[in-house]
């Protein structure tokens, strides 16, 4: 995949939507590509988080192992979705597993490359970090809604 193709994929991702073509080009230049086959794990709960992933093709299941119950799927992500983004904000271990649900091609941005890029381009940092805050806030609200449903339905 060349830089133009990477830029086109990044422009469709909510985290990078709205960035200027020049900013998208900068991000595309630090992204790498990975292919993962059905059934493999991209990462596991507890792993060191050092990369953000963008699904170009295929699907990824985000899940956690629940003792005594097995795997609990939290989300199934499709092309255009991002995952692992919390690793770019803090240095905490991964909070869930990411399993390949359907063979996939991913764009990958390492924390080191991301930090260097944002350090050198402050305007880009502002836009990307505010976008990330909006995404994480939406996910927190969704989690709160799920917890409320579980507590009301006496399944929590």
Question: Could you tell me the two tokens for 18?
Answer: 């709205």
Q: Give the global pTM.
A: 0.84
- pLDDT of 19-77, one tens digit each? 889 999 999 999 999 999 999 999 999 999 999 999 999 999 999 988 888 888 889 99
pLDDT at 31: 96
Instruction: With beta carbons less than 8 A apart as the criterion, state whether 24 and 62 touch.
Output: no
pLDDT band at 91 (very low <50, low <70, confident <90, very high): confident
All residues at 6 or more sequence positions from 16 whose CB lies less than 8 Å from its CB, including other chains: 10, 23, 24, 27, 128, 131
**Average of pLDDT values for 101-112?**
95
- Report the alpha-carbon distance of residue 102 to residue 56 in Å, rounded: 12
Query: Which CATH number describes the domain made up of 3-111+122-151?
Result: 2.60.120.10
- Report the alpha-carbon distance of residue 48 to residue 92 in Å, rounded: 7
pLDDT band at 90 (very low <50, low <70, confident <90, very high): confident
Instruction: With beta carbons less than 8 A apart as the criterion, state whether 57 and 147 touch.
Output: no
Domain ranges of the chain: 3-111+122-151
pLDDT at 106: 98
12 membership: H or E segment, kind and range: none
Quickly count: other Cβ atoms within 10 Å of residue 21's Cβ.
9
- Report the alpha-carbon distance of residue 43 to residue 40 in Å, rounded: 9
**Average of pLDDT values for 122-140?**
87
All residues at 6 or more sequence positions from 22 whose CB lies less than 8 Å from its CB, including other chains: none
On the question of pLDDT at 155 being above 60, the answer is no
The CB-side HSE value for 137 (13 A sphere, CA atoms) comes to 7
């Amino acid at each position: 995949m060349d830089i133009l193709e990477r830029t086109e994929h990044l422009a469709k991702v909510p985290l990078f939507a709205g960035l200027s073509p020049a900013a998208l080009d900068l991000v595309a230049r630090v992204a790498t590509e990975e292919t993962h086959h059905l059934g493999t794990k991209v990462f596991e709960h507890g792993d060191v988080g050092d990369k953000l992933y963008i699904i170009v093709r295929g699907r990824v299941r985000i899940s956690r192992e629940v003792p005594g119950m097995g795997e609990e799927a939290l989300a199934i992500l499709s092309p255009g979705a991002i995952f692992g983004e919390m690793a770019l904000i803090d240095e905490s271990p991964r909070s869930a597993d990411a399993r390949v649900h359907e063979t996939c091609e991913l764009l990958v941005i390492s924390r080191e490359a991301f930090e260097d890029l944002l350090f050198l381009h402050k305007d880009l940092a502002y836009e990307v970090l505010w976008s990330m805050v909006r995404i994480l806030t939406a996910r927190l609200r969704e989690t709160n809604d799920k917890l409320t449903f579980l507590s009301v339905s006496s399944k929590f």
